Amino acid sequence: MTTDLEAENAALLQFLYACPAGLVEFSAAGAISMVNPAAMGLLMPIAGKPFVINLFDVMDSCAPELRNLVQHFSPPQGTVCDGHRIVTGRGERSTVLACSIVKLTQDRYVATLSDVTEQVARERRLKQAETWFASLLDGVDDVAVLSLDANGCIDAVTSSAARQTGFTDAELIGKPFEWFDRPDRASAMPLPGEAIAVAQRDGWYLHEGWHALADGGRYWCQRLVAVRDEAAGAAAGYTLVIRAVTRQGRDAADLRRMLTLDHLTGASNRAHFFETAERQLLRALRDGGSLALVVLDVDHFKRVNDEHGHAAGDVVLREVARRCEAELRPEDIFARMGGEEFVVLLPGTSLMAASAVAERLRASLAREPIDVGEIQLCITASFGCSALDTDPAASLAGLLAAADSALYSAKRAGRDRVALSNSDQAAA
Amino acid sequence: MLSFEAISLDTLLTLEADQLDTLPFGVVGLSAEGIVETYNATEAQLAGLHRDGVIGTHYFSVTAQCMNNFMVAQRFEDEAEIDAIIDYVLTLRMRPTPVRLRLMKAPRADRRFILIQR
């Protein structure tokens, strides 16, 4: 006969089995002691295999910062992170997870995991609208209004536009409004035509980014493209409203840094890399330019962690990121993919040019050892390159896979070297 | 032959509930819609659940979300006939537990089986 206690126990287990959110209990080293099926269901595709034993190991490929967040959290108990976003996968069907971690004792943590992919896409649009309307309430002293024709070319301007940008009417009229975009590496701009296409579909499009000034400078602004006459069926034209955002410049810059940069190394994070790379790839395919990826992986990094501790490993990763970024152009994106793996996005670059960049990065790492406290470590990395000019049909996931397999041959050939993707050889 | 590796689908279909209960490995029988029809004592013991609470529920949604993927649930959807043993980790009583799963399905029977050996 089952006792009340047994029945209650079974009911509790059933409750946990059926719980739609993932629950994981783990140690300070990431070893999983308890896990419910929903969590296992989310972790297995990331691990790529059903043997999920250590949370940090599984997440190392997409959220290496979890280990840092847990280790740097010094209070004896409390919330380590709340709704921390994790972008999984490598370009195709990226799932976004929200992860909250609570520290119970020195060696006992509980995490919740849930799939928020859909929600993130919806939020992005909502947030845009919200920012815009909130900012309108703060005063309308610095707003420029322009008129666009059905193709997005400026066909009329008000004096406010000249006041804000310094351009004369003649310099503005007839130009596509996107001509005045001045993107940099931290701000992904929409593709030409994208704003008009979305405005046509939804009635409006909102974007925040750098805009040109007549004196050669730039200013950060929010731009609303709104359909002028919806009743006429196909839009006859659009109203473009540009609002300079200086008021919360610092906060906004901090927020942007937080959302686009990797916690530990200051390199771009995965989410920012994928967002920018998708855009750049579409742009390259449309304009017929090239685009290259360089994947790099620090050689024998596990040895650094095992022999000198994770703190030394962290110093090495920060220095690798610093040296590499110093070698790159402002429009290149240097991002941390996970663990000791980084990726460089090189717009407008051929495979041969990418290999020269990779060689420069390799040399800058190998040239002198890295200071880690009292000791110096000789650090090298292996590189794999792929590019659109030799692989014109590739998707982002395809380019990444090609660069990955080149990286693998560089590792096999003895590390500390650059290898190029070669579709002919891959088939052999 | 009533071992984990050797027992046949036809044998599983003919065994009575009390005979299934004596098998040393877990037996879960599902309808074509994924509803639990058979749940033996060994499996109830391993999972810490009562048979009555599991029979009639949708297995991959309620009890075994961690098998609701391409490695297990999707195979029952995609393949007309399966008899495969795979290494897996289940969350029995929320402990990550390495197991061997045997997935069994044949066109001649509506009922599919998952055998679970610790």
Nearest to A36 among B54, B61, B94 (CB): B94
Q: Does A39 touch chain B (CB under 8 A)?
A: yes
Chain A residues with CB under 8 Å of B71 CB are: 44, 50
SS3 for A103?
strand
Nearest-CA distance B46 → chain A (Å): 11
Token pair belonging to A389 = 């000019």
Q: Is residue A389 part of a domain?
A: yes
Please answer yes or no on whether A14 and B63 come within 8 Å at the CB atom.
yes
Chain A residues with CB under 8 Å of B53 CB are: 10-11, 14
Residue A148 — φ and ψ, nearest 5°?
-115, 145
Question: Which residues, in sequence order, are CB contacts of A179 under 8 Å at separation 6+?
Answer: none
Residue A7: predicted pLDDT: 86
Other Cβ atoms within 10 Å of A61 Cβ, number: 18
Which CATH number fits the domain that encloses residue A225?
3.30.450.20
The span from the CA of A223 to the CA of A165, in Å, is: 13
Q: Is residue A364 part of a domain?
A: yes
If asked whether residues A321 and A406 sit together in one domain, one would say yes
Q: Is residue A256 part of a domain?
A: no
Residue A428: predicted pLDDT: 31
Q: Is residue A427 part of a domain?
A: no
User: Can you tell me which residue has the tokens 């997870």?
Assistant: A97
Q: Does B52 touch chain A (CB under 8 A)?
A: no
Residue A253: predicted pLDDT: 60
Residue of B89, B95, B103 to mutate, interface with A, max A Cβ within 10 Å: B89
Long-range pairs for A51-54: beta carbons < 8 A, 24 or more residues apart: A51/B87, A51/B89, A51/B98, A52/B89, A52/B96, A53/B96, A54/A26, A54/A29, A54/A30
Token pair belonging to B38 = 């058979």
Asked if A208 and A221 count as a contact pair (C-beta separation under 8 A), the reply is yes
If asked whether residues A160 and A274 sit together in one domain, one would say no
Token pair belonging to A376 = 């110096």
Burial class (CB in 10 A: 0-12, 13-18, 19+), A358: buried
Instruction: Encode pLDDT of A278-308 as tens digits.
Output: 888 988 888 888 999 999 999 999 999 999 9
Nearest to B65 among A38, A45, A53 (CB): A38
Model pTM score: 0.60
If asked whether residues A399 and A282 sit together in one domain, one would say yes
Q: Which domains does chain B have, with CATH numbers?
A: 9-117 (3.30.450.20)
- Choose among A339, A328, A306: nearest CA to A59: A339
Q: Is residue A183 part of a domain?
A: yes
Please answer yes or no on whether A40 and B66 come within 8 Å at the CB atom.
yes
Q: Does A3 touch chain B (CB under 8 A)?
A: no
Residue A183: predicted pLDDT: 75
User: Can you tell me which residue has the tokens 């925040």?
Assistant: A208
If asked whether residues A139 and A246 sit together in one domain, one would say yes
If asked whether residues A216 and A269 sit together in one domain, one would say no
Residue A426: predicted pLDDT: 40
Other Cβ atoms within 10 Å of A142 Cβ, number: 16
Q: Which of A232, A251, A270 is the last residue of a domain?
A: A251
If asked whether residues A280 and A205 sit together in one domain, one would say no
Tally the domains of chain A: 3
Residue A262: predicted pLDDT: 86
Which residues in chain A land under pLDDT 50? 137, 139, 247, 424-428
Q: Which of A83, A115, A147 is the last residue of a domain?
A: A115
Structural domain of A76: 2-115
SS3 for A373?
coil
Burial class (CB in 10 A: 0-12, 13-18, 19+), A232: exposed
Q: Does B48 touch chain A (CB under 8 A)?
A: yes
The span from the CA of A157 to the CA of B40, in Å, is: 77
Q: Is residue A174 part of a domain?
A: yes
Q: Which of A78, A94, A115 is the last residue of a domain?
A: A115
The span from the CA of A315 to the CA of B47, in Å, is: 45
Residue B15: predicted pLDDT: 94
Instruction: Report percent pLDDT > 90 for chain B.
Output: 83
SS3 for A159?
helix
Nearest to A44 among B50, B54, B69 (CB): B69
Chain A residues with CB under 8 Å of B68 CB are: 41
Instruction: Encode pLDDT of B24-74 as tens digits.
Output: 999 999 999 999 999 999 999 999 999 999 999 999 999 998 898 888 999
If asked whether residues A133 and A213 sit together in one domain, one would say yes
Which of the four pLDDT bands, split at 50, 70 and 90, describes residue B103? Answer: very high
Residue A257: predicted pLDDT: 67
Please answer yes or no on whether A17 and B50 come within 8 Å at the CB atom.
no
- Choose among A410, A161, A387, A204: nearest CA to A299: A410
If asked whether residues A297 and A412 sit together in one domain, one would say yes
